[in-house]
Structure 1
Amino acid sequence: MVYFFSSYWWLLFPIGFFVFGAWDRWLAYKRSRDHLDLLRHYAEQGKEPPPELVRAVSGEMPGGEARGAYPPGYGNAPPPFPHPYYWSGNRAWRRYYRWGPYWQWRSAFMTGAVAAGFWAASEWSDWPGTYEPFRLVAIIMTIVAVGNMLGAVFSSTFRDK
């Protein structure tokens, strides 16, 4: 058991990311549930809810005009300036930099390069006891790279459909 913890201490990081990701999703669920309860309370009283509450429930950010459900390249307006991160509007527009074939191919090549690095490290590392951990990470990164490659092929093939 001591060997396991001393050899795989780095697994604490992905496990921690999973735990914090689950905690974030739980808090988002509670926040959306509270928003819906507040909307229900307004509806029971016959009052009009504030527009900020309605925008928060619908997922739009305040201060921006309503835009389409998909970012440019998917049938909407041309890309605005200067950078997609600064756009206002709904979630798809704010997260445009994650969309599109360019970013899918970039992710595929980057994860493929990291996987190749771990394969090389597992074969030619001079540190004793690093074969199994590097090989495990190489296998996982290869699977992620193949998944990203499939996503890139599908995003390039079915882009405007």
Structure 2
Amino acid sequence: MENLFYSFWWLIFPIGFMIAGAFNSFLGYKRQKDALNLLRAYADKGQEPPAELLKVLQRPLDDDSWTGSSSAPRQPTNYWSLFGLFAALSAGFVGAGYYTDMDRGSGAFTIVAFVMGAVAVWALISALTTRRNR
């Protein structure tokens, strides 16, 4: 059992991110439910709800901003820079796997290079097919 935790310590990070995502989703659900209950209470009394309450309900559930409104519009992703980054990473891992013996012949760097190359191809396709508003 001790060997299991020794060999798979890195699983703490993806499991932690999944738990954090689930908790964030639960908090978003609870926020929307509380806002609807408050809106229902205003409707029962026949009063007009405040504008801030309506803004909470208009906010998408997957919005990660803590304030409820974003001050700057979202910038489009620059796929050309992603292509350059992942192409360079792929070339680096190919070079490290071919010219050095860092992975002791296991082929791990080759696998990482293929994955980085696949992401670079995706970024290139996205860069070529995405329209920019100029």
TM-score range, shorter chain: 0.5 to 0.7
Equivalence for 2:132? 159
1:122–1:131 contact (8 Å) kept in structure 2: no
Residues 129, 104 of structure 1: alpha-carbon distance in 2 compared, 3 angstrom cutoff = same
What does 1:2-13 correspond to in 2, within 5 Å? 2=3, 6=7, 9-10=9-10, 12-13=12-13
Equivalence for 1:32? 32
Distance 1:136 1:151 in 2: 23
Task: For residue 12 of structure 1, report the CA deviation from its aligned partner.
Answer: 4.3
Q: Which runs of 5+ in 2 are unaligned?
A: 61-67
Equivalence for 1:116? 91
SS at structure 2 position matched to 1:94 = coil
Equivalence for 2:63? none
Alignment length (residue pairs): 125
Identity of aligned residues (%): 38
1:134 to 2:105 alignment: no
Q: Which runs of 5+ in 1 are unaligned?
A: 61-88
1:123–1:131 contact (8 Å) kept in structure 2: no
TM-score of the two chains, using structure 1 as the length reference: 0.55
Distance 1:154 1:138 in 2: 24
TM-score of the two chains, using structure 2 as the length reference: 0.62
What does 1:10-159 correspond to in 2, within 5 Å? 10=10, 12-59=12-59, 91=70, 94-97=72-75, 99=76, 103-129=78-104, 131-155=106-130, 158-159=131-132
Deviation per residue, 1:41-60 (Å, 9 max, x gap): 32233221111111222239
Deviation per residue, 1:136-157 (Å, 9 max, x gap): 43333333322222222222xx
Distance 1:12 1:48 in 2: 48
Deviation per residue, 1:46-103 (Å, 9 max, x gap): 221111111222239xxxxxxxxxxxxxxxxxxxxxxxxxxxx954x63533x15xx2
Query: Which has the larger Rg?
Result: 2
Question: Letter of the aligned partner of 2:128 in structure 1?
Answer: V
